[in-house]
């Protein structure tokens, strides 16, 4: 199997992050990620809404 060093690093970072919070995903990890998100220097970008998908008319019974 081929190993991707970037994916391996991502897994290692994720495992290290989870270990810092004893794997408490719903509590401590989520709170830490919210804190990081609040202090992130990049601007928040809201994508424009997607245009609606036109409905196709179904044939009516004659």
pLDDT in tens, 17-36: 999 988 888 899 999 989 99
pLDDT tens for residues 36-45?
988 988 887 8
Question: Of residues 61 and 3, which shows the higher confidence score?
Answer: 3
Please check whether residue 28 is in contact with residue 22, taking contact to mean a CB–CB distance below 8 angstroms.
Answer: yes
- Residues with Cβ within 8 Å of 23's Cβ and at least 6 positions away in sequence, in order, are 29
pTM to 2 decimal places: 0.52
Which ranges of the chain would DSSP assign to H, the alpha helix? 5-20, 30-39
The three-point CA angle 22-40-5 to 5° equals 60
């Amino acid at each position: 199997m081929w190993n991707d060093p970037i994916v391996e690093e991502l897994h290692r970072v994720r495992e290290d992050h989870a270990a810092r919070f004893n794997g408490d995903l719903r509590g401590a990890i989520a709170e830490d990620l919210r804190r990081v998100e609040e202090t992130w220097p990049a601007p928040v970008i809201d994508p424009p809404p997607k245009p609606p998908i036109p409905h196709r008319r179904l044939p009516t019974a004659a």
